């Protein structure tokens, strides 16, 4: 009897304890630790976003006219599609360039790793405008890259004011956002698993593809999502490196709001971009879930 009664008591007490725990959390300090950040987000992000959304439905008159205009204009749809295409290319370039880089960071010694991390971070400390202007110098028709191409006797390629130029410039700016999450996941992968795979009969290449790559996917997805979403809203780099046929949505929005003072249309474009981003995030969410991955080094 006693043996059956004891668990019952503990079971009835547990939820009450949990609720008490939660109440204490709200009253206690932890809540106030996040309050300043929450306030800032509300004032600096939530409020303007609400105003922009409101104005997209209310200017010049109440209704959906701004959205009807957006989806009715082929130019807008082309730019929207191009924005997603360029972002996808940027993400791809970042994956191809960032994956081996992040992997190298996990296998080198601490000194070399520090240098590699600095190489990732130093561009972060330089203003985006400066970096993009550097790309202008490098990519322009008489620039460094084309001089080198001419030097080896090949015909120069058009880089500035093309999509290729925009992708190169954006990928360089966004690369750290791919490398850092990838590295964070890769450094937890136990390299001894590769040794185990080899002992079971896997060649080093197979062991890498079948064991290492799957374990690194959470970092790859995280980095790809961050890069893609940041790329969707990129403004300075496409504006300076791109031409009329590589305009991205952010440039159109800037045009509507600052040049034409058309807050309704600009707001509608912003809302479309935001909603499209959320839809994409929702689609990608299941990919990032890896409940059984422990992968920690012992």
Partner 1 sequence: MASSESRGATIDIRSVSKRYGGFTALDDVSLHIEAGEFMTLLGPSGSGKTTTLNVIAGFTELSSGVLEVGGRSVVGVPAHKRNIGVVFQHYALFPHMTVGRNVAYPLALRGVAREHRERRVQSALDMVKMVDFSHRFPSELSGGQQQRVALARATVFDPPLLLMDEPLGALDKKLREWLQLEIKRIHRELGTTFVYVTHDQEEALVLSDRIAVFNQGRIEQIGTGRQLYDEPATLFVGKFIGDSTVLRGTARTSGDETAIDIGGQKAVTRKRLPNGGTPVMLLRPEKLALVRRGARISVDRNSLAGRVGEAIYLGSGSKYEVVLADGSTAVVRSTLEDEAFQIGDEVDVLFAGSDARLLADDDKADLTLT
Tell me which residues touch partner 1 (CB under 8 A).
Answer: 190, 192-193, 195-204, 206-207, 210-211, 214-215, 290, 292-295, 298
Q: Is the CB of 111 or the CB of 298 nearer to partner 1?
A: 298
Q: Is the CB of 131 or the CB of 293 nearer to partner 1?
A: 293
Angle at 254 between CA 79 and CA 67, to 5 degrees: 60
- Give the C-alpha distances (Å, rounded to integers) separating 112 from 98, 176, 252: 17, 17, 43
Q: Is the CB of 11 or the CB of 297 nearer to partner 1?
A: 297
Q: Is the CB of 174 or the CB of 207 nearer to partner 1?
A: 207
Angle at 88 between CA 82 and CA 89, to 5 degrees: 90
Q: Is the CB of 20 or the CB of 204 nearer to partner 1?
A: 204
Q: Is the CB of 48 or the CB of 214 nearer to partner 1?
A: 214
CB of 197 to partner 1, least distance (A): 8
How many C-beta atoms lie closer than 10 Å to residue 8's C-beta? 9
CB of 183 to partner 1, least distance (A): 19
Task: Give buried/exposed letters for 15-36 (b at 16+ CB in 10 A, else e).
Answer: eeeeeeeeeeeeeeeeeeeeee
CB of 105 to partner 1, least distance (A): 21
Q: Which residues contact 108 (CB under 8 A, 6 or more apart)?
A: 116
Q: Is the CB of 202 or the CB of 229 nearer to partner 1?
A: 202
């Amino acid at each position: 009897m006693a043996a059956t009664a004891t668990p019952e008591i503990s079971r009835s007490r547990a939820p009450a304890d949990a609720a008490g725990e939660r109440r204490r959390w709200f009253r206690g300090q932890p809540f106030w630790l996040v309050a300043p950040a929450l306030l800032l987000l509300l004032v600096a992000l939530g409020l303007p976003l609400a105003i922009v959304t409101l104005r997209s439905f209310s200017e010049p008159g109440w209704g959906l006219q701004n959205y009807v205009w957006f989806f009715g204009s082929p130019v807008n749809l082309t730019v929207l599609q191009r924005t997603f295409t360029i972002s996808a290319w940027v993400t791809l370039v970042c994956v191809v360039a960032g994956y081996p880089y992040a992997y190298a960071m996990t296998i080198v010694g601490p000194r070399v790793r520090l240098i590699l991390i600095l190489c990732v971070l130093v561009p972060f400390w330089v203003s985006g405008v400066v970096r993009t202007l550097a790309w202008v110098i490098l990519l322009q028709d008489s620039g460094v890259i084309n001089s080198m191409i001419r030097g080896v006797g090949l015909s120069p390629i058009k880089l500035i004011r093309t999509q290729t130029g925009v992708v190169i410039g954006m990928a360089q700016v966004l690369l750290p956002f791919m490398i850092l999450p990838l590295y964070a996941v890769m450094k937890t992968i136990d390299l001894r698993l590769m040794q185990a795979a080899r002992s079971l009969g896997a060649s080093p290449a197979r062991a890498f593809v079948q064991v290492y790559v799957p374990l690194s996917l959470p970092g790859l997805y995280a980095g790809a999502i961050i890069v893609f979403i940041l790329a969707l809203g990129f403004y300075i780099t496409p504006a300076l490196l791109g031409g009329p046929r590589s305009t991205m949505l952010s440039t159109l929005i800037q045009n509507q709001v600052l040049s034409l003072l058309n807050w309704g249309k600009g707001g509608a474009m912003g809302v479309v971009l935001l909603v499209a981003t959320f839809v994409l995030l929702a689609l990608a969410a299941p990919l990032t879930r890896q409940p059984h991955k422990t992968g920690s080094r012992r």
